[in-house]
């Protein structure tokens, strides 16, 4: 006798309840877990034992993952230059800045930091930088003060301007088309 849809009282089952009962019975038929074979940490389908079901570790030293997981991990490890015999750490060749494009760590107390490309880019940036140890940039530097060029934006105490030359020109244009001013304030009620 087929199980009847759960029904409160004697009302006829809705089409949704009929379909739900049908699908529930189908799913229960293919479910291999039962009170005699409960799913849990010790169930073979929960343990990584070489099939594609379990991922849980068997014991303290067993592998973790399905057969596919283990295969992908082994392929990745085969491509990795580091392993238990060649560990990566602070003193590894590829961790130190020694002229290649791998390591960034400083060698000794006075060594450079960064990969070959990092060092080349830093050297290039420093070569075009107008500031250095003898010409430091600060709030009083010519290029920090708004003095009509396109470098400084800080307030110029002499002219009371703020911004680069482009900023000032844009502000003047916007103020010229603004219908509100010191005499005609916004909002104009």
pLDDT at 170: 92
The per-residue pLDDT for 122 is 92
Which string of DSSP letters, residue by residue, matches 74-86?
HHHHHH-S-BTTB
Q: What is the pTM of this model?
A: 0.43
Query: For residue range 35-49, what is the model confidence (pLDDT) as tens digits?
Result: 888 888 888 889 998
pLDDT at 1 over 50: no
End-to-end CA distance of the chain: 83
Q: What does the alpha-carbon distance between residue 51 and residue 73 come to, in Å, rounded to a whole number?
A: 15
Contacts of 57 (CB under 8 A, 6+ apart): 47, 48, 63, 64
Q: What is the pLDDT of residues 87-131, one digit of tens each?
A: 888 888 889 998 899 989 998 888 889 999 999 999 999 899 888
pLDDT tens by residue, 10-39:
778 889 988 998 898 888 888 888 888 888
Here the tokens at position 38 are 């409960």
* Domain map (residue ranges) of the chain: 97-128, 142-177
Rounded CA separation 79/73 (Å): 10
């Amino acid at each position: 006798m087929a199980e009847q849809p759960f029904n409160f009282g004697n009302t006829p089952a809705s089409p949704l309840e009929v379909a739900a009962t049908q699908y529930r019975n189908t799913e229960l038929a293919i479910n291999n877990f039962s009170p005699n074979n409960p799913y849990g940490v010790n169930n073979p389908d929960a343990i990584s034992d070489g099939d594609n079901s379990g991922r849980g570790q068997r014991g303290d030293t067993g592998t973790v993952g399905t057969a596919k997981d283990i295969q992908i991990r082994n392929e990745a490890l085969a491509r990795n230059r580091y392993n238990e015999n060649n560990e990566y750490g602070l003193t590894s060749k590829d961790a130190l800045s020694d002229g290649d494009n791998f390591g960034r760590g400083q060698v000794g107390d006075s060594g450079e930091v960064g990969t070959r490309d990092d060092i080349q880019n830093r050297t290039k940036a420093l070569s075009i930088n107008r500031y250095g140890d003898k010409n430091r940039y600060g709030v009083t530097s010519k290029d920090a003060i708004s003095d009509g060029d396109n470098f400084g934006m800080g307030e110029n105490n002499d002219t009371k301007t703020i911004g680069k030359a482009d900023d000032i020109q844009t502000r003047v244009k916007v103020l010229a088309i603004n219908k509100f001013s010191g005499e005609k304030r916004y909002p104009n009620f």
